[in-house]
Amino acid sequence: MVGRPARWFYPGGVTDGPETLRITLTGDDRPGVTSALLQAVAPLGADVLDLEQIVVRDHLTLTLLLRTAGDAGTAATDRAAAGSARELRGAVQAVADRLGMRAKVREGVGDSLERPAGRAHVVVLGRPLSAGPLGAVTARIAAHGANIDRIRRLSHYPVTTLEFDVSGADVPALRAELAAVAAAERVDVAVAPAGLARLGARLVVMDVDSTFIQQEVIELLAAKCGREAEVAAVTERAMRGELDFAASLRERVAVLAGLDASVLGAVRAEIILTPGARTLVRTLKRLGDTIALVSGGFIEIVGPIAADLGIDHALANRLEVRDGKLTGRVEGEIVDRAGKARALRRFAAEAGLPLSRTVAIGDGANDLDMLETAGLGVAFNAKPLVRAQADTAVNVPYLDTVLFLLGITREDVEEADALDGIPTPAPLLS
């Protein structure tokens, strides 16, 4: 809140800005500070234009912007404003003295009604979040010519997450600049437009293997016939983008020929969800979001996971079975890189959501089209190629840190769980 020349909109039209006082109280927080200040200035007839306060570690900063007189420009109104200002200064200082706080009063003219251009949310998270990388992020914001208007903490464990409200930014350019800082400083940074673009229903689409779950299902299946290492090597090359995904999938599935179909149930029992997966889904469902799992793996595994968690959509490849045995082939069209992006578009259309309201999360090269198509593409513990091309990267092993990128706080999650009688894992492990 800065007193500066502005144009004011009143029922009678547009006028020059009135005289203002910006009052700031700082000191130890306690109940009743705000009411004491307002009660002190109320008898003097000033109008409240803005009121903000923040408490950091029991230290309060309270700022009040008042209009002290009507339209400026005549000797009479100038004298009235000066007298009113003196009385207000005295009343404010008396409150500060009584409460053992510091008071600062600054005179100004008007207060802009215009919202600053280029508003964005910059979310920084780390485990730990060190001063050096954080300083590099804030320095880059300043060098960009943007201003940090507000900072708040979104979480303190298992990662520390800070959110910066920024104005004066070219959002796509700032995102690119901070991506370079994030890579150099080994810290996770996300940049998203502010305002309504961040609010309302979303579609969240997630890869499965090594994203929503900790394993690669094809490797678990290959282990049943003693060929896990061979298949894992092919998987690694495919995820790095060195091999065509569809061809590599056919090559890997071929080694499963002859396995009894009962191995699918055994593999389902071995699946371990990524820490935070349940919390992420539970929280998004509370918000009314649509959730989808889209996988280059197998629907025999992905489908039951989705059904168990109440996930809205599940798309994956289907293994061919003949006479109770896997044939080493898949049925139908393979869900590859392009197929994942098509699925995201289809799910968004079915939910009546624009692509700007979609989030995609993945780790491998076959997720790149999906990440690029979504309004926000998140590379989760991803391969270097994917980290370099995604909107943002998360490099901690907790899937629900994605909630913090969306502006949802750790406290929000815990309070919602408490209301539903669900103990939130600590740290966010399920």
What are the Cα distances from residue 71, in Å, to 19, 68, 82? Answer: 8, 10, 13
207 is catalytic: yes
Q: How far apart are CA 371 and CA 377, in angstroms?
A: 4
Identified catalytic residue from 188, 209, 367, 369: 209
Identified catalytic residue from 188, 207, 336, 363: 207
User: Strands 47-56 and 13-16, how do they pair?
Assistant: unpaired
Q: Are 211 and 402 in contact (CB under 8 A)?
A: no
308 is catalytic: no
CB atoms within 10 A of CB 271: 18
Six token digits for residue 390:
């995604």
Show which residues are catalytic.
207, 209
